[in-house]
Structure 1
Amino acid sequence: MHGGGPFSKEAAEGVQPLNPFERFQHRQGVTVLDGGLATSLEALGYDLADDLWSAKVLLEDPDVIQRVHSDFLQAGADCITAGTYQASIQGFIARGVVKERAVEVLGRAVGLAVEARDAFWSNAENRNQRLRPLVAASVGPYGAYQADGSEYTGAYGLSDDELLDFHGGRWRVLAESGADLMGCETVPSLQEAEVLLELLCRTSDQWAWMSFTCRDGSHLSDGTPLAAAAKMCDAGSRVAAVGINCTPPEHVSELISVIRNATDKPIIAYPNAGGRYDAERKTWKGDVSRHDWPALAAEWRDRGASVIGGCCRVAPADISRMRGRLLSSDQP
């Protein structure tokens, strides 16, 4: 068994844990996440050059999203993330969808992931040497709704109350959707993290991870020291993990070390494949072939991460190779 971390003795003894990641840590030392949903859809031929990005497919062809979830489960993901990252009530309304339908689509997005997980788990062969996978409801940043790349800058120009208004309606829907936890991801600023933590505090019996985008090896996208953000998250009693996502892989090891010095909470790491996001064309630029994902995943685990996967342009095959390395019995 690899890794360690802030998990309870009760979980090790078989009592149902509170933090959803605990049972994976005690059984296998790590939780393997999925990879990039949207870029997997693009690999299947879907054009996501749209303000709704992957949420467009929720309206047009939701069954294919369930197929991608299934692909990641078969690849070894212990946790799949519902396709709600760029899905917001405001975004759907701007597309001409009435509010009631927007709420329905948000709930259905989580339902697709739950159904994929349940179908996977109903096959006895899939239960061999596996734990029942988790479903996370993705809570994307305000910048994802803006569709202008501001999730990589945090330059919103909004007050705390305005951010609360934006996130609040979707948060309530997702908190009641049947997901095992919430995934607050691609958060670029301390301000937005504070707002999301406030919503978490208002929600009973709900867990969430908090994952930031970073500009370098020590700062959030808005320039805030990552250490300050991690310390703030450390005070949240139902923060399941703190970490980074959709950040170039070359920064991740240093960022993990910064987080470990600021909190004892589990660390989550799921970077993109590098390159640059072209907000105007809604697509990624740059090479993805140079990364040794198994070696990187092992390095991040050794640095202290215990929840590991990928983000944009990380495919099911990459997740499979990561899992093979992370759970290998002959790891040094």
Structure 2
Amino acid sequence: MPDNNAGADRRAVALLDGGLGQEIYRRARGVSSPLWSVAVMVEQPEIVTAVHSDFIRAGARTLTLNTYAATPTRLRKQGMHDQLAAIHQRAFQALERAIDANGVQVDIAACLPPLIASYQGQPARSFEDVVDEYVTLAELQAGADVVLIETMTNTLEARAACAAAREQGKPFGVSFRLEANGRLKSGETLAEAVAAVEGYSPAAIMLNCCEPERVTDTMPELVRLYPIVGGYANAFESVEAVANGGLVDTLEARAEVSPESYAAQVRQWLADGASVVGGCCEITPAHIQYLADILTDEFRFVRFSQLVR
């Protein structure tokens, strides 16, 4: 692969990994669980390391810990809350093994996800209660270089996660998911969502886990709303089954979202002003590899922490 850090005259872009959890889950042998890729990590940790390695070799320079489903709320529901710290330790070990094996300097990103489940509205909890849970997650991942707050569908969780991330004193980004109507699941607009978190001074505000076309349609608005922005889309046919309480097992990938077609969307995000790109569910190492290969002459791929210095 060409040296993505050569040529300082090219615009710096933070290249994230792709759909880590879904790629792990897809490769697993005989695992079906509401805890998704975390359940795989407990039983088959070598798969997690292999997926991280594939994303590193593809060109990603910021790798997220496999902790998306490991919130205290979700683990308690599955009777595994006593394993909270051990699971987070396993996530670090899996990623660190991949980094050591590949000898590439990357950012380790802590993950602050929705606390109860993906694609839900605003939880019936107090701000203080939600902050406390995010503080726990942030402290368990304190060894990370940066923090990514992902798949936010309401401003209560987004604000609470930002408050917890800010306490870590390291760069953090927050990503919102938009519904078909262009709003968060809570009914809030993107402008309202950005206004709710900008006071916490995130390094970047992004869109994630929605269709590539929705990110493309919305990126110009996001660029107008915040100085550093980005996007990383999913390639699911629909997420309604999970939004209604089903397992990820029921979801199907969009075959037409090839590395080539996804790269065309990402190129448009960059043209509109995005500075952070990557992929969410069903965006594979092959997608990230293709991005790194075709865009390396135009952009200088960096770690998330380098982008915001």
TM range (shorter): 0.7 to 0.9
Q: Deviations over 1:66-119 (max 9, x none)?
A: 1100011111111111100011234334444463x4212213312321332233
CA distance in 1: counterparts of 2:8 and 2:178, whole angstroms: 26
Q: CA deviation at 1:55?
A: 0.9
CA distance in 2: counterparts of 1:188 and 1:287, whole angstroms: 21
CA distance in 1: counterparts of 2:86 and 2:7, whole angstroms: 31
**Which of 147, 150, 153 matches 1:188?**
153
| 2:87 aligned residue | 105
Q: CA deviation at 1:48?
A: 4.9
Q: Identity of aligned pairs, percent? A: 27
| 2:223 aligned residue | 260
Q: Deviations over 1:257-308 (max 9, x none)?
A: 12111111x2121110131122223235345221201211111111111111
Identify if the C-alpha distance between structure 1 residues 46 and 255 changes in structure 2 by more than 3 Å, giving closer, same or farther.
farther
Identify if the C-alpha distance between structure 1 residues 169 and 23 changes in structure 2 by more than 3 Å, giving closer, same or farther.
farther
Count how many residue pairs are aligned between Structure 1 and Structure 2. Answer: 288
Question: Aligned letter for 1:210?
Answer: V
Question: Aligned letter for 2:247?
Answer: R
**Which of 278, 295, 302 matches 1:326?**
295
| 2:179 aligned residue | 215
| 1:301 aligned residue | 270
The secondary structure found in structure 1 opposite 2:225 is: coil
CA distance in 1: counterparts of 2:23 and 2:271, whole angstroms: 28
Moved over 4 A (4+): 22-28
| 1:115 aligned residue | 97
1:134 matched to 2:107? The reply is yes
Q: CA deviation at 1:26?
A: 7.2
Within 5 Å, give how 1:277-296 maps onto structure 2. Answer: 277=239, 278-279=241-242, 280-283=246-249, 285-291=251-257, 292-296=261-265
**Which of 170, 186, 189 matches 1:225?**
189
**Which of 193, 197, 206 matches 1:243?**
206
Identify if the C-alpha distance between structure 1 residues 207 and 37 changes in structure 2 by more than 3 Å, giving closer, same or farther.
same
Higher relative contact order (Cα pairs below 8 Å, separated by 6+ residues):
2
| 1:276 aligned residue | 238
CA distance in 2: counterparts of 1:95 and 1:49, whole angstroms: 13
The secondary structure found in structure 2 opposite 1:143 is: coil
Identify if the C-alpha distance between structure 1 residues 68 and 24 changes in structure 2 by more than 3 Å, giving closer, same or farther.
farther
**Which of 38, 54, 61 matches 2:44?**
61
TM-score, length-scaled by structure 2 = 0.84
Unaligned runs of 5+ in 2: 300-309
The secondary structure found in structure 2 opposite 1:80 is: strand
* CA RMSD after TM alignment: 2.5
Identify if the C-alpha distance between structure 1 residues 287 and 36 changes in structure 2 by more than 3 Å, giving closer, same or farther.
closer
* Conservation of the 8 A alpha-carbon contact between 2:230 and 2:269: no
* Conservation of the 8 A alpha-carbon contact between 2:71 and 2:115: no
CA distance in 1: counterparts of 2:168 and 2:209, whole angstroms: 29
Identify if the C-alpha distance between structure 1 residues 45 and 97 changes in structure 2 by more than 3 Å, giving closer, same or farther.
closer
* Conservation of the 8 A alpha-carbon contact between 2:49 and 2:98: yes
CA distance in 2: counterparts of 1:221 and 1:48, whole angstroms: 29
* Conservation of the 8 A alpha-carbon contact between 1:218 and 1:254: no
The secondary structure found in structure 2 opposite 1:274 is: coil
| 1:153 aligned residue | 120
Identify if the C-alpha distance between structure 1 residues 66 and 314 changes in structure 2 by more than 3 Å, giving closer, same or farther.
same
* Conservation of the 8 A alpha-carbon contact between 1:24 and 1:31: no
Question: Aligned letter for 1:167?
Answer: Y
